[in-house]
């Protein structure tokens, strides 16, 4: 009998953990390889990452393994994520790699670069329908980054140095 | 008081100039597109004015290295095959600086054009001077131009279609729709679209 009780408690706790935060979005697909699990979303699924109102500072970066300037700036994102992750801070790296590259390239890349920030895949080919929902001024070039906290929001169609990125992050903290 | 006024005017003029420089340059629908003289992969110089018979152009900023550009290569060839004979040839321009992106060197452009059997000129924007005038920010980035007495008028800016990854799932062929409309002397319905692409490396 106590086993069942524990089971129920476990399931209830598990349920709350799963429902909490972003997990409410149902991914299109979960890619699993070498101990890494990556959720892929269409834009509808991704959208709530871009519109949280919970005092947390969000840094959302759009990148791809084939995008040289994106790969170059990722270590800065990773470093600043490590620095701020214990505060009200959440970084999400949105990979725009093609679906067929996720297992062959993206997951090995994550392992190789030891990326710890949360990574999701956006798989929604009709980009014209969603680019302006990320930011009106986005032309569609990557790298691109959104930083926001509640209603304050900024969009950057550019590459960052570590200092530039930290300066922008700090400007959202006060 | 007069001095203040002058100072104010100067300041205002300065601000206006400053804002004008900040505003990203580039064409809008209705702009007259500049002509150019750029080197093709066959080492000959190509200009729009060379195309006496053309009714317009499908100018595509594209490159070797970008997976989005590569995904569209076959579709760009198809566009050229279909529309060159109707008066709208494809003119492809690689805007990237090979010092920043080695795979986009002029020599590698020649290799790629041969491998894929490009039916259109594939030009090198040497010194990266032409793409900023158009306002291209990424590859691929399309400008459909219509030849008029005033010059080559920009009629469409944006993506080739609405699905880069799966040609069979395309629902909107933006460039084809635009050129088809121009050929029928109709207004282009969807004049601008956006797509993900690789930022141009200047």
Domains of chain B, earliest start first: 26-199 (3.40.30.10)
Residue A134: give its domain's CATH number: 3.40.30.10
User: Residue B160 and residue A99: Cα distance in Å, rounded?
Assistant: 20
Which whole number is the average pLDDT over B84-108?
Answer: 97
Q: Which two three-digit tokens encode residue B65?
A: 């290295």
Secondary structure of A41-75 in HEC code, one letter for each residue: ECHHHHHHHHCCCCCCEEEEEEECCCCHHHHHHHH
Q: Strands, DSSP E only, in chain A?
A: 29-33, 36-41, 57-63, 89-95, 118-122, 141-142, 144-149, 152-156
Interface contact A125-B71, CB threshold 8 A: no
**Does any domain span residue A13?**
no
A29: containing domain: 25-171
ipTM score: 0.79
Say if residues B127 and B95 touch (Cβ distance below 8 Å): no
Which whole number is the average pLDDT over B146-153?
Answer: 97
User: Residue B93 and residue A160: Cα distance in Å, rounded?
Assistant: 27
Interface of B with A (CB under 8 A): 65-67, 71, 101, 137-138, 158-159, 162-166, 169, 171-172, 174, 193-201
**Does any domain span residue A119?**
yes
Interface contact A139-B158, CB threshold 8 A: no
**Does any domain span residue A18?**
no
| Contacts A–B by Cβ distance under 8 A | 69
Interface contact A138-B193, CB threshold 8 A: no
pLDDT at residue B25 in the model: 74
Residues of chain A found within 8 Å of residue B195, distances taken between Cβ atoms: 127-128, 131, 140
Q: Which two three-digit tokens encode residue A57?
A: 């500072």
pLDDT at residue A24 in the model: 54
pLDDT at residue B165 in the model: 87
pLDDT at residue A69 in the model: 93
Say if residues B91 and B46 touch (Cβ distance below 8 Å): yes
User: Which of B101, B165, B198 faces A98 most closely, judged by CB atoms?
Assistant: B165
pLDDT higher than 70, residue B81: yes
User: Residue B22 and residue A94: Cα distance in Å, rounded?
Assistant: 29
- Residue of chain B whose Cα is closest to the Cα of A101: B67
User: Residue B72 and residue B138: Cα distance in Å, rounded?
Assistant: 14
User: Which of B101, B137, B196 faces A68 most closely, judged by CB atoms?
Assistant: B101
pLDDT level of residue B21 (50, 70, 90 thresholds): very low
Give the number of domains in chain A: 1
**Does any domain span residue A8?**
no
Give per-residue pLDDT as tens, B46-67: 999 999 999 999 999 999 999 9
**Does any domain span residue A2?**
no
User: Which of A69, A126, A127 faces B199 most closely, judged by CB atoms?
Assistant: A69
Separation in Å, CA of B118 to nearest CA in chain A:
23
For chain A, the farthest-separated pair of C-alpha atoms sits apart, in whole angstroms, at 60
Interface contact A127-B159, CB threshold 8 A: yes
């Amino acid at each position: 009998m106590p086993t069942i009780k524990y089971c129920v408690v476990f399931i209830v706790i598990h349920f709350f953990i799963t429902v909490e935060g972003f997990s409410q979005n149902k991914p299109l697909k979960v890619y699993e390889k070498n101990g890494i699990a990556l959720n892929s979303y269409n834009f509808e699924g991704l959208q709530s990452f871009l519109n949280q109102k919970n005092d947390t500072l969000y840094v959302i970066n759009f990148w791809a393994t084939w995008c040289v300037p994106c790969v170059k700036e990722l270590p800065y994102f990773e470093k600043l994520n490590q620095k701020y992750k214990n505060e009200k801070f959440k970084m999400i790296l949105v990979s725009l790699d093609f679906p067929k590259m996720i297992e062959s390239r993206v997951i090995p890349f994550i392992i190789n670069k030891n990326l710890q920030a949360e990574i999701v895949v956006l798989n929604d080919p009709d980009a014209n329908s969603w680019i302006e929902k990320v930011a009106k001024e986005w032309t569609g070039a990557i790298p691109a980054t959104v930083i926001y906290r509640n209603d304050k929001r900024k969009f950057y169609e550019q590459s960052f140095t570590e200092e530039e990125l930290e300066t922008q992050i700090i400007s959202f903290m006060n | 008081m007069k001095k203040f006024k002058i100072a104010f005017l100067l300041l205002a003029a300065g601000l206006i100039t400053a804002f004008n420089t900040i505003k990203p340059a580039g064409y809008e629908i209705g702009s007259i597109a500049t002509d150019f003289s750029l080197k093709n992969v066959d080492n000959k110089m190509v200009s729009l004015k060379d195309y006496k018979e053309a009714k317009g152009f499908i100018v595509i900023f594209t490159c070797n290295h970008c997976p989005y550009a590569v995904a569209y290569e076959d579709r760009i060839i198809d566009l050229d095959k279909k529309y060159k004979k109707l008066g709208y040839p494809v003119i492809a321009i690689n805007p990237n600086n090979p010092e920043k992106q080695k795979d986009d060197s002029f020599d590698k452009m020649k290799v790629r054009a041969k491998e894929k059997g490009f039916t259109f000129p594939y030009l090198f924007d040497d010194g990266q001077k032409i793409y900023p005038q158009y306002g291209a920010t990424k590859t691929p980035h399309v400008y459909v131009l219509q030849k008029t007495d005033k010059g080559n008028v920009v009629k469409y800016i944006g993506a080739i279609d609405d699905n880069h990854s799966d040609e069979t799932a395309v629902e909107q062929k933006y460039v084809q729709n635009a050129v088809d409309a121009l050929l029928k002397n109709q207004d282009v319905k969807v004049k601008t679209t956006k797509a993900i692409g690789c930022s141009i490396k200047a």
